[in-house]
Structure 1
Amino acid sequence: MPGNYCCVKNCFNRSHDGRGKLRNNGIQFFRLPKWTKHQGEQVSDLTRRRRIAWLAAIRRKDLTFDHTPLSTRVCSLHFHSGKPSYEMLENHPDWTPSLLLGHNDVKKTDEARYQRQVRRRTQQLERQPPPAQDQPQAPPSPAQDQPQAPPAQDQPQAPPAQDQPQAPPAQDQLQAPPPPAQDQPQAPAQDQPQAPAQDQPQAPAQDQPQPQAPPAQDMECGLCTSRRDVINTLLEENRQLKQELDMYRMNENFLSGDDNTVKYYTGLPNFALFQTLLLTLTPYLPQGRMKKLSPFQLVLLTLMRLRLDLPIQHLSHLFRVHRTTVADAFHHTLGVMYAQLCPLVHWPSRECVLTSMPHQFVESFGDNVAAIVDCFEVLIEKPSNVLARAQTFSQYKQAYTMKYLIVIMPQGVISFTSNGWGGRTSDKHITEQSGFLNKLLPGDIVLADKGFNIREHVGMMCAEVKISTFTRGCAQLEAKDVEETEAIAHLRIHMEKVIGVVRNKFKFLHSTVPVHMLVKCEGENLMPLDKIVTVCCALTNMCKSVV
């Protein structure tokens, strides 16, 4: 039968009739209280005792503390007020059901007794605080004692004369009022029966509004004062805890404009450059998918992954999100950064190169040095496919790697990066197939290592290749080539510096890259590792050149 029904013995109240129609009889149904375990020891003990008390009042063998159906209800007819009381009011008569329980084992609670108890407690709180609060306040105390003066008007007997020594302290406290307060002690001294009757009614009439301005009923009790102090203390503690929490949260205040912190976590030289990068990327970030992470956190998370090579699990702990959220955020943000920062790795015009050519290159080779080329390798995990193992195993590194061609201008700016190739691929093959040769112009001079045997292909373009044979310092040179080779080797140090900066600045390229980073992105002819290398080179170009 649909609807709710009361579980109390001999109580047949239901929310619906036999036909399933809702009854509008004003009766409500309430669930049995739950045992709350995670809100402190006091709440846990109170809710446990309340659940036990309800089950004891209902007194049914099929209902136990641990096994109670979710459909179990108690109707409003078993409570004085028609509903259960707040769980913290343990003395309230409706803390447990007590009416019409179908047995006499539970005594009916007395609501009037509870109301009398509440009134007594309220009266005690109202009586106790005023004396404690009137002690430091000098003006209100005379206002309460001053009504003793009028009886001296109707009874000109000895008692007023005995109580007269109490008047000077009240007069000394009220020296600020007008002259009548100064004449008051002289009048009783001269004419005891008449002067007090004439002067004393005037002094209270003038002074009464000042001491009695705050009525006794409107004065804050001591309990309110203590509660206010507790609230202020909690608010101050809450403010301090929020400040401490902001220090550990990866939000906009994490970097706080500190250039050293920015350089350590992102690799960028200063906070202003980071803000510029953030403003550039924010309109394109996947904000709808990553609701738990702000644009600031998306960019910071990606840079920290590249810069410090932090594991996904550790970033999940730092940003307080699930590890799958971190992985998705890194993947999507990396795609946005590649699309927006890719133009920073571009091939400049010959006029731009000549304008800022360092004098070392001009002295050795004139104005025609176009680029310095080299390859660097990134370690990867051992592939499961046999063919992939053969293609990625590097004889030079004796490990499985991905190889990238990198081209640097004489100014130290990275102007070209190729897609990834297996570590077994030769430098010559990568240079020929990467599209780098198409960017050379007639008369360009390219500085390369001896592994780049590309003289034939460059010669077809009327360009010239200067090859350094100082590989590992163990080559034999002819006397006529020594001078030229030394100049090339000296200038190729800039290449080693730039590659070292890229790899040292972004430790992700130092680590062993997972295999899933080598799977091509959907709809693109690029691997995530290709995007990472390009983004790292673009970020390096945003920093100060090492040349």
Structure 2
Amino acid sequence: MKLTLHEINCLHCSSVASFTVVTLICVLVCPLQGKPSYEMDEQNPDWVPTLLMSPPSNMSTSDRRSRRKRRRSGAAKDQTAAKVQTATDMSDRQVEEQAPETPSETPGEPNNKHTAVQTIKAGEELSEAAGREDEHEPAAKRQPTKCQLCEERMAEVNRLLQENRELRSELNKKQLAENFFKDDTKKVTYYTGLPCFAVLLSLFNTVMPFLPASKKLSQFQMVVLTLMRLRLDLPVQHLCHLFNVSHKTLSDAFADTVDVLYTRLKPAVNWPERHCLQADMPPQFLKTFGKRVAIIVDCFEIGTEKPSNLKALAQSFSQHKGGHTMKYLVGITPHGSISFISNGWGGRASDKHVAENCGILSNLLPGDIVLAGRGFDVKDSVGMMCAEVKMPSFTKGRGQLDAKDVEDTQAVAHLRIHVERVIGCMRNKYKMLHRTVPITLLLTCEGEETTLLDKIVYVCCSLVNMIVKSNAKETSTC
């Protein structure tokens, strides 16, 4: 509230007012009044200030915001004024430097006015330029910073993606998957027994559509772990650690894969037609027996754990091996491929009993010759098929054999060694057939008469035939 000079004089002259003009002005400015207390009276309430000790707490937020805005605008104006002043000073210096070169029309006031006008215009232009620079300078500074930050982040993302790809590639190589065996024949031969990755891939493509899906293992890994167990006879627990699966998962995968391999690889073990055998008979057979040799047979035994059932205990004990075994009859062609494999028989069964009851005789044709060992005394059974059995001669109480018998025995023994070589190669390549197998493999599969061990032996024979055919193709190509 403001008072005019006249009002003040009137109040001064008025007798109604009992206080001075200064007091009246103070009252108008601040209605709160008081008086100082005695300085030694410390108990007096007025000894210390007690009014308006702090700013009001109910100050509105809008007031504070408006004051803050005014302060910022004032600071901005001061900064702009300073820049304009700087620009003006710079223009003055430029004008002073150019003054001696510029002729003046009159030595007096007109030249000064012209210079002042130029100075003002230059100052305005510089102030406008400075304002524009102030407007654009923060954005220009922020833009490079932002772009640089984006580039750094993109570089970091690309580096992490590349590192992720490298780690994935390295992990795939450690997971015994396709990349682990690709372009490495030594690994394929060591872990699977197959000659190269192309044969392994061909085998996988043959059985892949029939393999069951597994959450933990890929179909390729199922085939690989099965071949690794057959080839290296690795303990199941060790394979569980290699493939990072449980014991049950690996056992189920092994059984399922063997079942699929047994079904899909059956054509690999087949009895060839007679004209096929005679068309490519090896010379040593031609020289001794002509083209009549159809098959060479022999038996081998696989050790098993001791069964708990007394009947199975008696049937599986082998006098020849001195332990519990399963016996299999194998027949090979003169070319060296396996053409027949029987189901398993208890080790107590004789070679003659296995040969007469395994079904091999039904494949013989009239005039065929079967090369066999001394235990296969099946001349009567083979004679019923109008075929002939050639085996080493017996002394039968004689002191020595006749010259003809010795010659025939040597010829048969020399040719029979091929079947022993094939059986030895198969058991050496797939070491699971060389060691004692658990009794659980002798249990028949659900809904079948074939045991899991029978399927394993059949699969091994099929794989050996695949290897033989693959080697024959490579030899013919070379």
- Aligned equivalent of 1:373: 297
Alignment pair present for 1:514 and 2:438: yes
Q: Which residue of 1 aligns with 2:184?
A: 258
1:432 counterpart residue number? 356
Q: Which moved more, 1:371-380 or 1:228-237?
A: 228-237
| CA contact 1:368–1:445 (8 Å) conserved in 2 | yes
Q: Distance in 1 between matches of 2:448 and 2:265?
A: 17
Aligned with 2:90 (options 147, 155, 161): 155
Going from structure 1 to structure 2, the CA distance change for 1:214 and 1:497 (only over 3 Å counts) comes to farther
Does the alignment pair 1:216 with 2:141? yes
Name the aligned partner's letter for residue 503 of structure 1: R
Q: Is the 8 A contact 1:306 1:508 kept in 2?
A: yes
Bigger relative contact order, structure 1 or 2 (CA pairs below 8 A, ≥6 apart): 2
> Which structure carries more helix by proportion?
2
Structure 1, unaligned stretches of length 5 or more?
A: 1-147, 163-186
CA contact (8 A) 1:467 1:485 kept: yes
Question: Secondary structure, in 3 states, of the residue corresponding to 1:513?
Answer: coil
Match in the other structure for 2:250: 326
Alpha-carbon spacing, 1:467–1:212, altered in 2? closer, same or farther (3 Å):
farther
Question: Cα distance 1:150–1:271, how it changes in 2: closer, same or farther (>3 A)?
Answer: farther
Query: Could you tell me how far 1:149 is from its partner in structure 2?
Result: 13
Deviation, 1:232, is: 4.6
Q: Quote how far apart the aligned CAs of 1:476 are.
A: 5.3
The more displaced of 257-266 and 412-421 is 257-266
- Say if 2:282 is the partner of 1:358: yes
TM-superposition CA deviations, 1:303-350 (whole Å, max 9, x none): 111111122212222222211011111111111111111121111110
For 2:366 and 2:101, how far apart are their aligned partners in 1? Answer: 127
Q: Name which of 402, 419, 422 aligns with 1:478.
A: 402
CA distance in 1, matches of 2:465, 2:178: 25
Matched residue type, 1:219: P
| TM-score between the two structures when normalised by the length of structure 2 | 0.68
Pair 1:310-2:310 in alignment: no
Moved over 4 A (4+): 148-154, 157-162, 187-191, 211-214, 221-233
Aligned ranges 1:233-312 → 2 under 5 Å: 233-287=159-213, 290-312=214-236
Deviations 1:82-122 (A, max 9, x none): xxxxxxxxxxxxxxxxxxxxxxxxxxxxxxxxxxxxxxxxx
Alignment partner of 1:403 is 2:338: no
For the 8 Å contact 2:393–2:405, the answer to whether it is kept is no
Q: 1:349-407 deviations in whole A, cap 9, x for unaligned?
A: 10111112111111111010001000000010111122212211112111211000000
Q: 1:240 to 1:449 in 2, by over 3 A?
A: same
Give the 3 Å change call, closer, same or farther, for CA 212–342 of structure 1 in structure 2.
same
Task: Give the letter for the 1:523 counterpart.
Answer: G
Partner of 2:466: 542
Q: 1:151 to 1:457 in 2, by over 3 A?
A: same
Structure showing greater Rg: 2
CA distance in 1, matches of 2:368, 2:100: 121
The separation in 1 between residues aligned to 2:383 and 2:274, in whole angstroms, is 19
Distance 2:100 2:289 in 1: 120
Q: How many correspondences in the alignment?
A: 363
Q: Secondary structure at the match of 1:405?
A: strand
For the 8 Å contact 2:297–2:329, the answer to whether it is kept is: yes
* TM-aligned CA distance change 1:263 to 1:150, over 3 Å: farther
Q: Which amino acid aligns with 1:535?
A: V
Mean Cα deviation higher: 406-415 or 316-325: 316-325
Deviations 1:175-233 (A, max 9, x none): xxxxxxxxxxxx99988x99x97xx99xx99xx9xx98982122235776665555454
Q: 2:377 aligns with which of 453, 476, 481?
A: 453
Root-mean-square deviation (Å): 3.5
Change in CA separation of 1:476 and 1:515 when aligned onto 2, cut-off 3 Å:
farther
Q: Which residue of 2 aligns with 1:505?
A: 429
Change (3 A) 1:397 1:159: farther
Is residue 365–residue 387 contact of structure 2 (8 Å, CA) maintained in 1?
yes
Contact 1:380 1:402 in 2 (8 A): yes
CA drift of 1:453 comes to 0.8
**SS of residue in 2 equivalent to 1:403:** strand
| SS of aligned partner of 2:254 | helix
Alpha-carbon distance in structure 2 between the residues aligned to 1:507 and 1:189 = 111
Describe how 1:64-79 pairs up with structure 2 within 5 A. none
Deviation, 1:460, is 2.2
Secondary structure at 2:181 match in 1: coil
Partner Cα distance (1:492, 1:292) in 2: 47
For 1:358 and 1:508, how far apart are their aligned partners in 2? 32
Taking structure 1 as the reference length, what is the TM-score of the superposition?
0.60
Name the amino acid aligned to 1:242: R
Q: Shift of the alpha carbon at 1:458? A: 1.3
Is the partner of 1:216 in helix, strand or coil?
helix
Structure 2 unmatched runs, 5+: 1-82, 103-114, 473-478
Contact 1:449 1:469 in 2 (8 A): no
Separation in structure 1 between the aligned mates of residue 400 and residue 412 of structure 2, nearest angstrom: 16
Q: Is residue 377–residue 402 contact of structure 1 (8 Å, CA) maintained in 2?
A: yes
Distance change (3 Å), C-alpha of 1:188 and 1:419 = farther
Counterpart of 1:478, as a letter, is D
- Equivalent residue letter for 1:156: S
1:129 aligns to what?
Answer: none
Equivalents in 2 of 1:188, 1:257: separation in Å? Answer: 87
Distance (Å, rounded) in 2 between the aligned partners of 1:389 and 1:151: 114
Aligned residue in 1 for 2:316: 392
After superposition, what is the alpha-carbon deviation per residue over 1:257-282, rounded to whole angstroms, capped at 9, x for unaligned? 42222221111111112222111111
> CA deviation digits over 1:435-485, x for unaligned, max 9?
1111111111111111111112112222111103599xxx95332212222
Equivalent residues of 1:394, 1:400 under 8 A apart: yes
